[in-house]
Structure 1
Amino acid sequence: MTPSDAPMPDDPILGAVANAAVVSSAPPAAEPEDDLAHDDGEGDRPELSPEAWALIRECLAQGCHDIGNSRRLRFRYGHQLVHIQNVGYHVYDGRRWIEDIDGVHVTPLAHETVEAIALEAHLISPTPNEAAAIAAGEEAEIEKESIGTDDLTESQKAALAKLNRDIAAASRARKAIAGRRAQRRRFANSSCNTGKIDGMLKQACGYLSKPLAAFDVDALALNLENGTLRVEIDEQEDEESDPDNPRFRRSVSIELSPHQREDWICKLAPVAYAKDAKCPIFDAFLAKILPSAEIRNYMLRYLGYALTALTTEQVFVLMHGEGRNGKSTLVDIVSRLMGDYATSLPIATLTGEDRRKGAEATPDLVRTPGARLVRAAEPKEGMAFDESLIKSLTSGEPILVRRLNHEFNEVYPKFKLAISANRKPVIRGNDDGIWRRVVLIPFDVQIPKDEVDKKLPEKLWTERSGILNRLLEGLSDFLMRGALDPPAGITAASQEYRDESDLMGAFVREALTVTKDAADSELTGALFDAFLVWCQRAARTPVKRETFTRRMVKTAHDFGFEKGKASSSIYVGVQVKSEYRPQQPEPRAPSRTRDDD
């Protein structure tokens, strides 16, 4: 077994001890205080714990190269470091695995690792032969003093020569030990160079690697300042129900557990769980901006649902209303409370204006893995959603994201979209595939200017533990129901939005009269001409003639008229309203020329 094959316990000291027999090819080093070679004069040994010296001894057994340094790093900090594939290093800070942006967390650990290499010099001890030579040399020095140098016999001269040889051998042994110590200190200095540190980190990352999919896997766990909140659902059959048609009772429990490395959580919400915390200011604010209790409770269910990584509902909310209606303040406080679990996307990402080629990096989407709430705001007048992207982001199916200079990661979106808009984005498609995902929440109350409280965001922040409890109530309501259950007010608003966005349907309703009388007919060309007139008056962007012709087939069927049987270019049972027929130009009198005179 090699050092790289050896198991790496979380504790670096235990890791060093567990692998001692594997990685150490040198004889056991003497304790610092029993050093037979004496100190080389380069400073006193620091007073460290036996465990610390055991770790240093283990590092001493590693080679003087990048691979050896990578093992030193793993021995010391393997329990704190992980390298997420195609993302980078993360460090466990006691509550979560935090991304090492710009080396803020990993660099100090790397520096401590290479700076500690110099301490290994204190544990470089004699080999058995060197120890024997040093011991013999010390005895020879004592014996040499007793012999003297005058009037020596031949046997005394021979003995003295042997003593001198032993003393010289001891000196060479000490120099060899001092040389190895100096060499280790020189290696310690060179290891502090940027190239060596980078090499150490690069060599270590393969042994500390985990896929992105291994993190934040518990959909009902929420990492908080004072622990990890765990939500559990229990379903039991009602004993009084019919065995052939059983009923089940569902209950939801919430518990706070200590932070654990083994949870592999990368996110943290900057709020503490306090079971009895209240939020009267938030409650009053929410009741003011959403006076309908049904809509208000739906909003809480959705935001509670956003605390989880569940994606069962496959919907997004469009919070619509004019300014000063509180929708931005609401999303702001919830996003701030959720911390790492919330992020934002440019509205251009959702409308396709920021579309990239397949091989390009997606820096906007790389923020979304592990996120549970993604916000976007303020689409411009006439902006249209990229409907295929919206479907992908809300379907729960994997998408590809890539950081600059990294490979692609396949990730499953776990977030819920919340889009704030004064103007409704255009949705061109009229299929259920897109519209079943759209939930429009009307924010119809406009706060008078003299009632706007500029300090409200900070007041709400002081109630964050209470607001968390309110969102947890919404989550429990959602889990007990098993669905978000939009009320009639939201369903009606969403349907109205669909009707407004249905370009073909709006054209038929406003510009045509459906008679269902076979005597009434219009050419497809006449319908398209009327469509262009209607688009101009309604400030709508027309589709191309080919698209219009294709869509009109389904639209006609939906509204109860159809193509003529004799000719596919005629629709029967419909008439264009006179005001939408193109105006024919009045004939002009012929212009006179000089030849007319």
Structure 2
Amino acid sequence: MRVQAQPEQEQIAPALSDDAIAAEFVSVHGQNWKHVAAWGAWYRWSGTVWERDETGLVREMVRQVCRSAAQQADKPAEARHIASDRKMSAVLRVAAADPGIAVAPSRWDAHPMLLNTPSGMVDLATGEIGPHDPDLLISQMTTASSGGDCPRWSTFLHEITDGYADLQAYLARLAGYCLTGSTREQAFAFLHGHGANGKSVFLQTLASIMGNYASTATLDTFMASKSERHLTELAGLRAARLVLVPETEAGRSWAEARIKAVTGGERLRANFMRRDHFEFEPQFKLIVAGNNRPALNGVGEAMRRRLHLVPFTVTIPPERRDPRLVEKLLAERDGILGWMLAGCADWQREGLSPPSCIRAAAEEYFEEEDLIGQWIQERCICDGKHKAPAAQLFQSWKAWVEDGGYPSGSQKALGEALRARGFEPTMVRRQRGWAGIGISRSSASTEVGE
């Protein structure tokens, strides 16, 4: 029995092949479309920014090209095939790989000192504004253009800082730093204070003005957890310059390794759901806000250098709280962006330069979190004469932390902490031990009694 060939199996005229129709799409529409294979995403140039195609508009463009090509077919069956969904999918695949369409992830949003605004591209290094340029491949844009005054914003800042000018100047530098894609400060900010103090309004206003340069992460993304976090959590933060964690919870601990990675300029590996992995250098500045201070697993130099603990100590009385305050502040969004740009210029000259109130709050926090330091102060003697077996030190440490309801960890972890503090390993009566530290007589007798 003779089998009739299907239209897709028949010889198609070269001008109507997948490749030819894809080339026609690129010729007609290619200047306005890009594709990123690793993300499975199409982007369309809007005239001011590259916008991700969330509605399948690119498929409609291909449908129009295919319908036009179908009119050139000699046979009805061939015309139906060219206008079919299968044909459109094939044309899309070919077009997506075209050199003028395909873009590697690393080429997107790769200009850390340019800021895209509705009125043009701001060079943050010079303050000059230039035209929008599709060749820059920028997919982010603020919701404001610099200009005008912001008297209500100035009053708000004065109120939430209790008139502390140095803290207001720091907040301006921090906000300006967040406009950039730089992470050279290798720092993150924790805005701490108990309710009705303005920190949420401050962050909501900045995030709204920054548009999709700002993003929000879940608390779990940057808090310690027993299970490994999924890489898709980081993929969505690829081009963000400000990432907010809006609230903390009691009893949680910082995910210190991840925080060090995202603030230290390391390349991160991530992927979108069911997509290939890709690497990117984070541009975002992490700001966490909360009433509860997360715990630290250890008070090391890395966290001391990174954490800016910003105290919000003012409580706005109930009669002066305005539920529409964010809305009213955003009426000055252009002026507030100007304030942020001025802060960016100050940051480039001075760095973040946290004032004394931030340094003091951080030092108090680290002292409270430094359990090993407290144990050494209460139970140990530190000088060049003393040395003690590692097992004896761990027994003392274990008794001390368990009395306070804290986990003791392992003897190895204690040894690493002692080494980090400058103590040297040695032998004590043929046992491994540590030089420069010993157990005080009073604490030793107390522990024996226990």
Q: Is the 8 A contact 1:303 1:475 kept in 2?
A: yes
Aligned counterparts, 1:20-31, within 5 A: none
SS of structure 1 residue aligned to 2:294 = coil
Q: Give unpaired runs (5+ residues) of structure 1.
A: 1-59, 122-179, 233-252, 586-597
Q: Is the 8 A contact 1:527 1:576 kept in 2?
A: no
Residue identity (%): 25
How far residue 550 of structure 1 moved from its aligned partner, in angstroms, is 4.4
What is the distance in 2 between the residues matched to 1:450 and 1:283? 20
Correspondent of 2:263 among 394, 402, 420 = 394
Partner of 1:302: 174
Residue 280 (str. 1) matches residue 151 (str. 2): yes
Partner of 2:358: 490
Q: What is the identity, as a one-letter code, of the residue corresponding to 2:200?
A: S
**1:551-586 Cα deviation digits (max 9, x unpaired):** 34555849xxx978556558765416559934857x
Correspondent of 2:379 among 497, 501, 512 = 512
Partner of 1:100: 53
Partner of 2:108: 215
Q: What is the identity, as a one-letter code, of the residue corresponding to 2:18?
A: D
SS of structure 2 residue aligned to 1:319 = strand
Correspondent of 2:43 among 66, 74, 90 = 90
How far residue 498 of structure 1 moved from its aligned partner, in angstroms, is 2.0
Aligned counterparts, 1:145-160, within 5 A: none
Q: What is the identity, as a one-letter code, of the residue corresponding to 2:145?
A: A
Partner of 2:417: 551
Deviates more, 1:330-339 or 1:498-507: 498-507
| Distance verdict in 2 for CA 1:500–1:200, change over 3 Å | same
Deviates more, 1:73-82 or 1:107-116: 107-116
Q: What is the identity, as a one-letter code, of the residue corresponding to 2:379?
A: L
Partner of 2:143: 270
| Distance verdict in 2 for CA 1:570–1:473, change over 3 Å | closer
How far residue 201 of structure 1 moved from its aligned partner, in angstroms, is 0.7
What is the distance in 1 between the residues matched to 2:305 and 2:240? 23
Deviates more, 1:289-298 or 1:199-208: 289-298
How far residue 496 of structure 1 moved from its aligned partner, in angstroms, is 2.1
Partner of 1:534: 400
How far residue 102 of structure 1 moved from its aligned partner, in angstroms, is 4.8
Q: What is the identity, as a one-letter code, of the residue corresponding to 2:165?
A: A
Q: Is the 8 A contact 1:513 1:577 kept in 2?
A: no
Q: Whose radius of gyration is greater, 1 or 2?
A: 1
Partner of 1:290: 161
Q: Is the 8 A contact 2:390 2:433 kept in 1?
A: yes
Structure with bigger RCO (C-alpha 8 Å, 6+ apart): 2
| Distance verdict in 2 for CA 1:295–1:498, change over 3 Å | same
Task: Indicate the RMSD between aligned Cα atoms, in angstroms.
Answer: 2.9
Partner of 1:409: 278
| Distance verdict in 2 for CA 1:476–1:555, change over 3 Å | closer
What is the distance in 2 between the residues matched to 1:526 and 1:379? 37
Residue 452 (str. 1) matches residue 286 (str. 2): no
Residue 422 (str. 1) matches residue 272 (str. 2): no
Partner of 2:189: 317
Partner of 2:8: none
Partner of 1:461: 330
Partner of 1:199: 90
Q: What is the identity, as a one-letter code, of the residue corresponding to 1:334?
A: L
Q: Is the 8 A contact 1:504 1:555 kept in 2?
A: no
What is the distance in 2 between the residues matched to 1:468 and 1:354? 40
Q: Is the 8 A contact 1:398 1:411 kept in 2?
A: yes
**1:443-487 Cα deviation digits (max 9, x unpaired):** 111222332210101111111111101111110111122x22122
Q: Is the 8 A contact 2:160 2:312 kept in 1?
A: yes
Partner of 1:374: 243
Q: Is the 8 A contact 1:227 1:258 kept in 2?
A: yes
Residue 326 (str. 1) matches residue 198 (str. 2): yes
Q: What is the identity, as a one-letter code, of the residue corresponding to 2:112?
A: A
| Distance verdict in 2 for CA 1:355–1:403, change over 3 Å | farther
| Distance verdict in 2 for CA 1:449–1:354, change over 3 Å | farther
What is the distance in 1 between the residues matched to 2:212 and 2:22? 30
**1:50-74 Cα deviation digits (max 9, x unpaired):** xxxxxxxxxx996323222212211
Q: What is the identity, as a one-letter code, of the residue corresponding to 1:213?
A: S
What is the distance in 1 between the residues matched to 2:275 and 2:344? 36
| Distance verdict in 2 for CA 1:516–1:399, change over 3 Å | closer
Partner of 2:6: none
What is the distance in 2 between the residues matched to 1:188 and 1:576? 95
What is the distance in 2 between the residues matched to 1:487 and 1:495? 13
What is the distance in 2 between the residues matched to 1:217 and 1:484? 23
Q: Is the 8 A contact 2:379 2:443 kept in 1?
A: no
Q: Is the 8 A contact 1:428 1:503 kept in 2?
A: no
How far residue 117 of structure 1 moved from its aligned partner, in angstroms, is 2.8
Q: Give unpaired runs (5+ residues) of structure 2.
A: 1-11
What is the distance in 1 between the residues matched to 2:445 and 2:221? 37
How far residue 80 of structure 1 moved from its aligned partner, in angstroms, is 0.7
How far residue 535 of structure 1 moved from its aligned partner, in angstroms, is 2.5
**1:234-288 Cα deviation digits (max 9, x unpaired):** xxxxxxxxxxxxxxxxxxx3222222212211111122232xx111121111121
Q: Is the 8 A contact 2:236 2:272 kept in 1?
A: no
Partner of 2:118: 225
Q: Is the 8 A contact 1:402 1:409 kept in 2?
A: yes
How far residue 538 of structure 1 moved from its aligned partner, in angstroms, is 3.5
